[in-house]
Amino acid sequence: LIELRGAHVPKMKAELQTLVDAGKLSEEELRAVNPMDLLDLAESDLSERMAEAASRGELFREQPFVMGLPASQVDGSDSDETILIQGIIDAYFEEDGEIIVLDYKTDRVQTEAELKDRYQEQLRLYTKALEQITRKKVKEQIIYSFTLCKEIHLEGYKND
């Protein structure tokens, strides 16, 4: 199995170089990418779900957003100021009329809990933005960890 997977590495490297040549990936980002990690993602259930959404035209990548939130929702202050939040959502897709938001992480961590603690607030903001933009409910928040080679589902998130 490892030999079969290894046979795909040169093709994966060529695809990555194509992204660099097109200006969609920097040389620095290319050096940080492990082709075997990409193969793990490509062979996952998540990848299959994304491919199905793409075939329906319901997969969206690198989606920028800007939204205004009351300061109290961002920093807990009692200010009535509006704070502008901007970001880029790695990917989201639709299933059964609801949204799944996905964030890729390359952090070198030992446990899922580290990523959940670090990025729960970020995913909460992405969820809020997507629900405003799409007018659809976000049913899942997923972090895909390249270090742990797995998807991590955030559960019990709050949508205030």
Tens-digit pLDDT profile for the chain (160 aa)? 344 455 566 777 787 788 788 877 678 777 777 777 777 777 788 989 999 999 999 999 888 999 888 877 766 677 778 888 888 999 999 999 999 999 988 888 999 999 999 999 999 999 999 999 999 999 999 999 988 889 999 975 444 3
Length of the chain: 160
Alpha helix segments (H runs only) across the chain: 2-7, 9-21, 27-32, 35-42, 45-55, 71-75, 112-134
Sequence-ordered list of residues with C-beta below 8 angstroms from that of 124, at least 6 positions apart, any chain: 157, 158, 159
pTM: 0.75
